[in-house]
């Protein structure tokens, strides 16, 4: 039986750490975490958070395994609604990253907090 997107998100949310943009910003100031925007490049070009790397969800696992070898380095994911970020966090955990958080705020709030 196929699962719906809301069902997938509900399942994934159980194992994902969710935080606000303010919390992420505070943590990143002290832990050198990576801020990753998992939206499509056109969305990122239109409106981006300062310092965010754009790695679309479909490429995330492959790109992260190439660029970040430390599975304990803090990673903060965001998108437009947190749905793609939640599914992305689940995938990063599957490949071994242990400190992945999802920023659940909208892009405008994320932009304000990362100035």
Q: pLDDT tens for residues 74-96?
A: 999 999 889 999 999 999 999 99
**Measured between alpha carbons, how far is 97 from 115 in angstroms, rounded to an integer?**
27
CB 103, CB 19: distance < 8 Å: yes
pLDDT at 12: 85
User: Domains along the chain?
Assistant: 5-113 (3.40.250.10)
Beta strand spans in the chain (E): 17-19, 34-37, 53-54, 75-78, 100-103
pLDDT at 111: 87
What pTM does this model have? 0.93
Of 53 and 15, more confident: 53
Asked whether residue 69 carries a pLDDT value surpassing 80, the answer given is yes
């Amino acid at each position: 039986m196929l699962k719906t997107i809301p069902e997938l998100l509900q399942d994934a949310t159980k194992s994902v750490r969710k935080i606000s943009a303010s919390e992420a910003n505070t943590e990143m100031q002290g832990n050198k975490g990576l801020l990753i925007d998992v939206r499509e490049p056109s969305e990122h070009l239109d409106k981006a958070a300062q310092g965010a790397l754009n790695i679309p969800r479909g490429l995330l696992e492959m790109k992260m395994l190439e660029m970040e070898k430390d599975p304990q380095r803090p990673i903060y994911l965001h998108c437009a609604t947190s749905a793609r970020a939640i599914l992305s966090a689940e995938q990063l955990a599957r490949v071994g990253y242990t400190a992945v958080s999802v920023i659940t705020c909208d892009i405008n709030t994320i932009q304000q907090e990362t100035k």
